[in-house]
Amino acid sequence: MGRSASKSSRSRRSSAELPSHVFGSDVEQDLAFLLSEGRRNLARFNADLVERAFRFCVKAHEKDVRVSGEPYYTHPANVALIVMRELPLDDVSVVAALLHDVVEDTSFSLKDVRAQFGAEVADIVDGATKISDVFKSREITQAENYRKLLLSLVNDVRVILVKFADRLHNMRTIDSLSRERQERLARETMEIYAPFAHRFGLGNMKWELEDLSFKVLNPAAYEDIQQRLAKTRREQEEIIRRFAEPIEEKLRENGLTFEINGRPKHFYSIYRKMLAQGKSVEEMYDLLAIRIILDTEDNNECFLAYGIVSEIYRPIPERFKNFISVPKKNGYQSLHTSVISGDGKPLEIQIRTRAMHDFAERGVAAHFRYKADTGATASWVDASDLEEWATWVRDVFENAGDTAAEELLESFKLNLYQDEIYVFTPKGELRILPKGATPIDFAFDIHSQVGARCIGAKVNGKIVPLDHELITGDQVSILTSKNQTPHRDWERIAITHKAKTHIRRILNEERRARVIEGKELWDKRAKKLGLHLNEDDMERLSVQAKYGGRTDFYFALATGSITPEAAGELIRQLVQPAAAKTEPHQAINADQFRTAARDKQQGIHLKDPTASSSKIMFSYARCCNPVPGDAVVGIVTIGSGIKVHRSTCRNVADLHDKLQSRIVDLEWSAAEGGEFLAAVKITGEDRPGMLNDITSAVVAVQKTNIRGVTIDAYDAVFEGILTVYVADLEHLKRIFEKLHRIKGVKSVERFEE
């Protein structure tokens, strides 16, 4: 419904005027058409290069067919046509468009493209291939990834333009796909491509992508709007005609050259407005945006035109927006206003120059066309333009904005992400890693098992050392072996928290296994030598032997850095005979050792009020297991603090005379919450369910933890040893009572070795 009110010097832009051609019936005709369109749209156009690319493309895809049944090359040819006509930039992007699917879909590699068409084309093709992978996932949580990746690849914006052209053609030909693929493609387009197109200022592209997606995603609403608009079209055209007439006259009087059209709003934007305002199509007066496009380089003429319009129609002041002096974030410039038309309805008007209009429709491409050549045709784009373009795009992305698309990009701040790199799995999946990351980091990022078994890596097909620093764009594959385990220097090579944590954990697990091995070796040796040493003793002796502790000592044994014989000799020399005799019955097993930490709780102090107990280490004797409330005495040991025994303990009684000087009086502290190991001996008649009855009885007493129960039965009589953690003697007595009540239990008493 465009309506040209004056002879525009450059009226070739409406797509209706573009020569049409259907690719696919004759390769030579297709080529001729493409070349003529290239010459028409691009100022400097290397026809030889484009012809070579076209022939290469036809050859490379010769065995491929589109879902529609057409030869595959018609797709890249159409993408190239879009690049020529709708985003006209240069012949390099046309060539890249022709070759964009070659690497992914044919047997030709990026190397072939590079050899035949140079690095510039190859880089664009490579970038466009990688970007498709990034766009594939539509999880919104990944939005940040898209932004970051786009930015990392934005050094050549032609990558993005080729990708958009590719998507546009796929959307235009979406009908031949299955319903499921249509929906997936449409959703992805609506959620990712359209907002990005908007952000790049590719106005036409954004609207078309939105409408094409909308048609797939909500066909009923799309059709409804289409039908209603068709019904009101005549009416709308009449509105425009009547509205435009007096304006055209006045503008001409003032010597302005211009075009007025009433472009219907896009379906999707009408739909959104309907939802937002709760109105039907018929109730909406602003289905048309009236545009006055001035053929001038003088921006002031826009204000002149605005003045003329507002003399004829009453403007609505609050609707006036001056995007000329203050362009939108994406660079869009125009004057917007609404006026009350002859029949009392508001009409939206946009006033802009031809350059501004081109920019609104084609974004970045137009920006540079006009920069280099404000004349009628496209210009050649050189390296500095591209660089400037990249800067421009970065600026666009760096500015937070207010619309939905801008919100998507809002959190984006380039400088925050400069220390990240974007690398790819062999399948093209994107991984974001900190700058300086190595194949080890990459491997652990994939999976901890991949990391643990990593023996090497290939970056872009070449084997690299594991400390090789990855850079953005690298494609990394990890070589693994199931016999591999992490090395200690991996901790240094890895820089991510994830990798470091995994490596440390695996190394620790391994060490733990070696420690257990070492302890077994030691136990055998100690038995042979008749050494009865508990874990406390071993800790102390290991330190005396200049090891970090007993685990280091065991580890050294397991790894062979000391032989069992040498270790035995070393310890034997360190053992003091006196210390060994202090606790003659201290043959402690590993199980008891595990509870050492609990037993170290103080809970007790010296009776002597002048002495400080805070620095003394107390431990509870295993022979009699004292608990708070028991009468106790302490025996000062060599190197392991004061051992707490019950006063009645036979070991103390035996040693009493000899050890008089080492015996100290102790008192329980009032502190609560301690857990003390107590051993209880139970006897009674053996019957089924006895063990179960014992454990249930004990558990029924609050806050009781059972460490172990063993039952031996002979001749219908059982004897059981129960070890439990209790707070004090009172607690233990409650347990005794419960146990006494069990049917068949004869005796319950403290157990002493």
> Residues binding Mn ion: what is the number (CB under 5 A)?
2
Q: Does 135 bind Mn ion (CB under 5 A)?
A: no
- Which residue, 38 or 76, has its beta carbon nearer to Mn ion? 76
CA dihedral 538, 543, 544, 550 (to 10 degrees): 30
Rounded CA-CA distance 452/483 in Å is 10
For Mn ion, which residue has the nearest CB?
166
Q: Binding mask 294-333 vs Mn ion (x if CB under 5 A, - otherwise)?
A: ----------------------------------------
| Shortest reach from residue 274's CB to Mn ion, in Å | 34
Residues between 356 and 415 with contacts to Mn ion, criterion CB under 5 A: none
- Distance between the two ends of the chain, CA-based, in angstroms? 105
User: Which among 164-172, 366-374, 399-407, 617-625 is the span making contact with Mn ion, rule CB under 5 A?
Assistant: 164-172
| Shortest reach from residue 171's CB to Mn ion, in Å | 11
Q: Does 166 bind Mn ion (CB under 5 A)?
A: yes
| Shortest reach from residue 76's CB to Mn ion, in Å | 7
- Which residue, 133 or 552, has its beta carbon nearer to Mn ion? 133
DSSP one-letter code for 178: -
Residues between 110 and 129 with contacts to Mn ion, criterion CB under 5 A: none
- Which residue, 103 or 309, has its beta carbon nearer to Mn ion? 103
DSSP string, 320-353: -EETTTS--TT----EEEEEE-TTS-EEEEEEEE
| Shortest reach from residue 99's CB to Mn ion, in Å | 10
Burial track 598-613 (b if 16+ CB lie within 10 A, e otherwise): ebeeebbbbeeeeeeb
Is residue 464 within a helix (H) or strand (E), and if so which, with residue range?
Answer: strand 462-464
Q: Does 101 bind Mn ion (CB under 5 A)?
A: yes
| Shortest reach from residue 464's CB to Mn ion, in Å | 32
Residues between 556 and 615 with contacts to Mn ion, criterion CB under 5 A: none
User: Which among 110-118, 162-170, 214-222, 576-584 is the span making contact with Mn ion, rule CB under 5 A?
Assistant: 162-170
Name the token pair of 127.
Answer: 């970038």
| Shortest reach from residue 436's CB to Mn ion, in Å | 35
Rounded CA-CA distance 173/182 in Å is 10
The answer to whether the CB of 563 falls within 8 A of the CB of 518 is no
Rounded CA-CA distance 142/191 in Å is 12
- Which residue, 160 or 732, has its beta carbon nearer to Mn ion? 160
Name the token pair of 166.
Answer: 């590719």
The answer to whether the CB of 542 falls within 8 A of the CB of 552 is yes
The answer to whether the CB of 548 falls within 8 A of the CB of 541 is no
- Which residue, 117 or 368, has its beta carbon nearer to Mn ion? 117
Q: For residue 583, give the amino acid letter.
A: E
- Which residue, 173 or 601, has its beta carbon nearer to Mn ion? 173
- Which residue, 166 or 583, has its beta carbon nearer to Mn ion? 166
Pairing of strands 618-620, 476-480: unpaired
Rounded CA-CA distance 688/693 in Å is 10
Q: Is the dihedral of CA 663, 668, 674, 675 positive or negative?
A: positive
Instruction: Burial-class residue 333 by CB neighbours within 10 Å (0-12, 13-18, 19+).
Output: buried
Instruction: Burial-class residue 629 by CB neighbours within 10 Å (0-12, 13-18, 19+).
Output: middle
DSSP one-letter code for 299: T
- Which residue, 135 or 555, has its beta carbon nearer to Mn ion? 135
The answer to whether the CB of 354 falls within 8 A of the CB of 366 is no
The label of the residue with tokens 């508001």 reads 346
The answer to whether the CB of 433 falls within 8 A of the CB of 445 is yes
- Which residue, 96 or 454, has its beta carbon nearer to Mn ion? 96
Name the token pair of 226.
Answer: 């289409």
User: Which among 2-10, 100-108, 367-375, 515-523 is the span making contact with Mn ion, rule CB under 5 A?
Assistant: 100-108
User: Which among 166-174, 275-283, 417-425, 556-564 is the span making contact with Mn ion, rule CB under 5 A?
Assistant: 166-174
User: Which among 163-171, 307-315, 436-444, 577-585 is the span making contact with Mn ion, rule CB under 5 A?
Assistant: 163-171
Report the SS3 class of residue 434: strand
Tell me which residues are annotated as active site. Answer: 104-105
Q: For residue 103, give the amino acid letter.
A: V
User: Which among 160-168, 511-519, 528-536, 563-571 is the span making contact with Mn ion, rule CB under 5 A?
Assistant: 160-168
| Shortest reach from residue 105's CB to Mn ion, in Å | 8
| Shortest reach from residue 100's CB to Mn ion, in Å | 6
Name the token pair of 683.
Answer: 């006897």
| Shortest reach from residue 172's CB to Mn ion, in Å | 12
Binding footprint of Mn ion on the chain (CB under 5 A) = 101, 166
